[in-house]
Structure 1
């Protein structure tokens, strides 16, 4: 059993170079996509990702906000899945806060590029796997 889920899960997340996010399509099927790690996190309950406003994932979250985020430590075969909801944020303040130098590679119009938005995924529960066992935890 994890003594401190926030520290254990937070450490696992901070060491990963890839995050996997899940959404639900219009037919009710799960869709999973590899993403760059979150730009910002609030503990282990809120995660901020950059993405394209025109993306399939954004359209799916607007239709159905159910979301999951998965982080995997391949070296030690540990992972954490967290379930919650996604919001598509397009306000200037959030976009500027999450923006990083070099993002013009993806969004040539800069921080005001209409194809740049932020996904905020807020999780309510999770499941952690390590040492051949899994445990659920509230967030």
Structure 2
């Protein structure tokens, strides 16, 4: 089961110092609260100082466990130097140029349909007619 109880107990086993720090913080806070209830400023002061110290130690334990986990994760994910093969940049560049040349050849050799040819011819005639009409308007014959 992966319920909340098993998650909590798993964390308690993985990070015992954090659990101790939380318990110590709660204990110091209860000690200070008891001092407030009994109107004992010395006990209250010691309880609050203990709470601050225990909180600091808890945060230090959290940071320490986080650092250990990050080191373990980086060791697990870092590849071996022997598994990395060198890159032949010249070969890659040559292959890219060959692929570009092959691609441009296939584009220039693609057969076009007769309908497409007719459409291109019609567009060309329209452009020429428009160009003639523009020049005719600009330079009227005298």
Pair in the same fold by TM > 0.5: no
Q: Which has the higher strand share?
A: 1
Could you tell me the TM-score, scaled by structure 2's length? 0.20
Q: Which has the higher helix share?
A: 2
